[in-house]
Amino acid sequence: MSDKILQITNPVLSISNLSIAYGKKDKLAVKDVSADVKRNNITAIMGPSGCGKSTLLRAINRMHELYPNIHTEGEIKLNGETIYEMSTSKLRRKIGMVFQRPNPFPTMSIYENVIAGYDLNGSKLKKNEKDEIVETSLHDVGLFEEVKDSLNKKGNFLSGGQQQRLCIARALAFKPEVILMDEPTSALDPLSTAKIEDLLVELKVHYSIILVTHNMSQAARISDNAMFMYLGELVEYDKTKTMFTNPKDPRTEGYLTGKFG
Amino acid sequence: MEKALINKNEGSNWRELKNKLFFGLVIVLSGITIMPILLIVYKLLSKGLRQINLDFFFKVAPDTLQAMSAVQSGEIIPGGIANGITGTLLMVAVASLIAIPVSILIGIFLYENPGKKYASLIRNLTDILQGVPSVVLGLIAYFWIVKGVTNGFSALAGSVALSIMMLPLIIRSTEETMKMIPVSIKEAGAALGVPYHRIIFKIMIPSGFSGLMTGILLSISRVLGETAPLMLTTLGNRAINFNITKPTSAVPLQIWEFYNNPNMIDLVWSSSLFLVGFVLTLNIIAKRISTKYS
């Protein structure tokens, strides 16, 4: 492998030769990407719009299969297990996802939102087991004190940042191994953004986080490793500090210094 | 320079005048538009209200002799339209049971497959169905149900004709409602590994509940007053009937019967008032639901 791609031992995820095409097979959104993701780290995926970073992220929990006419080649392994051989419901329990805009279920209360992953999958939990999951998940995202008196109300009175933390709590309820985040702060104000960033740094003790971001300074602030993608290619993957101070590829340097993107 | 300024002012005066003229025109035209409904309600109230009492809701229609003697002695006609009200409620309920589940599922299918050829075929056929005259649907229900199933005029045949009328309305309103729900809500479900049917039944349908309800209520109020298909299918009945295999009365059918009987003209007005009141109430409830929950 080239020296532009970071080597990792005992990775939580390993992506090998992944190519994804929408529609016609020659139009690749992700081109032959190989990379390993380090456990209990924040890995940022950066790049200009349309570079394939969201598609790559969605391939990790197979959400990209929801789009019509999708062709996927290559392999992704979660702890050595090929994800394309697992059922999606099992896979998505192990790999949670948080979206660009907060998307709590509008018809459910805060409590029901956090436990939704269990309820909607038809698991039969006792009331006290549910209570415990809801409480710990909300504690983990630092929302419990703020909402403990209104758990049975709908979440629409929460601020955008609180709603996003609720969505993170919903993903944490399954105790996943990996959390995928697709620009989780792009719809939030700076204060809420700072809170979410602090939260991610706390969460990486227990979870491995993959963060797609448009925001270079965010990647610099909180990520341990960073990938730079351009036109579907993984151009460079390195420790964040190394990449920001000493990029190896001229395209990475151009993006980081603001020449394009 | 000065001349240019003056010209500019003249232009703006003319624009203001045009604006005022147009505004006045809109007010006048909208006044004309609401006149018919006000006149209808006024006429129905002034002619029909005096017939409306408890008996009107709980007793069946009188026979001609009773009505004649009441009219001659200047009293209100005894009896009411209980057989029509119960028949209408029965047939609309059965029609809803048939139409609602089918059309919601078709609506969701159309929403899920926007570009597919088969879906757009269904969508076009739905639009055509909406344009089929209701009397033709009555005819079809006559051949399917009256001749084929119940061996005679029946409430079931009427319900089938009404349910076919309800289909296109609920299908389209379901599809439009589903389009309004943000895709991110559906994705949130998928990202939790929720199976497809549960995403539909536990997330999408509850999220679009108010829109679905509105579509259902509007389609019911649309078929409540249908007369022609019922004439061909359920015929009418002088007694209250809850057996769906037997001929049954309905309020619009009764209006037609009263109209053909010179002694019962007063009941035409009161029955029409009831029907219009019912339809308006359903419409208002539908509006309330859609504003409250959206």
Give pLDDT, residue A173: 95
User: How far is A185 from A196, CA to CA, in rounded Å?
Assistant: 7
pLDDT tens, residue by residue, A131-140: 999 999 999 9
Structural domains of chain B in order of their starting residue, each with its CATH number: 82-293 (1.10.3720.10)
How is chain A split into domains, by residue range?
13-256
pLDDT of amino acid B20: 94
Q: Per the CB < 8 Å rule, is A92 touching B207?
A: no
- In chain A, which residues have their Cβ closer than 8 Å to the Cβ of B189? 105, 116, 120
User: To which H or E segment does residue B225 belong?
Assistant: none
Q: How far is CA B149 from CA A65, B236, B250, in A?
A: 47, 18, 21
pLDDT on residue A4? 82
Q: Do B184 and A122 touch (CB under 8 A)?
A: no
Task: Count CB neighbours of A258 within 10 A.
Answer: 8
pLDDT for position A259 = 82
A114 contacts chain B (CB < 8 A): no
Q: Is the pLDDT of residue B64 over 90?
A: no
Name which residue leads in pLDDT, A261 or B196.
B196
- Is B207's CB within 8 Å of A121's CB? no
Q: The complex's ipTM?
A: 0.90
Contacts of B194 in chain A (CB under 8 A): 89, 117, 120-121
**Average pLDDT across chain B, whole number:** 92
Check residue A1 and give its pLDDT. 47
Q: Which of B192, B202, B212, B213 should one mutate to test binding to chain A, selecting the residue with the greatest count of A CBs within 10 A?
A: B192
A247 min Cα distance to partner chain B (Å): 34
Q: What percent of chain A has pLDDT over 70?
A: 98
* CATH entry, A13-256, from 3.20.20.140, 1.10.3720.10, 3.40.50.300, 3.40.190.10: 3.40.50.300
Residue whose C-alpha is closest to residue B71's, from B85, B86, B50: B50
Mean pLDDT of chain A, nearest integer: 92
How confident is the model over B241-284, as pLDDT tens digits? 999 999 999 999 999 999 999 889 999 999 999 999 999 999 99
Q: Does residue A254 surpass a pLDDT of 50?
A: yes
Give B50-62 pLDDT, tens digit per residue: 989 999 999 998 8
Rounded to whole angstroms, what are the CA distances from B272 to A212, A222, B46, B260, B276?
64, 71, 12, 15, 6
Q: pLDDT of A198-236, one tens digit each?
A: 999 999 999 999 999 988 999 999 999 999 999 999 999
Q: Could you read off the pLDDT of B20-33 as tens digits, one per residue?
A: 999 999 999 999 99
Inter-chain touch B189–A120, beta carbons under 8 Å: yes
Closest CA to B169 of B209, B194, B132, B207: B132
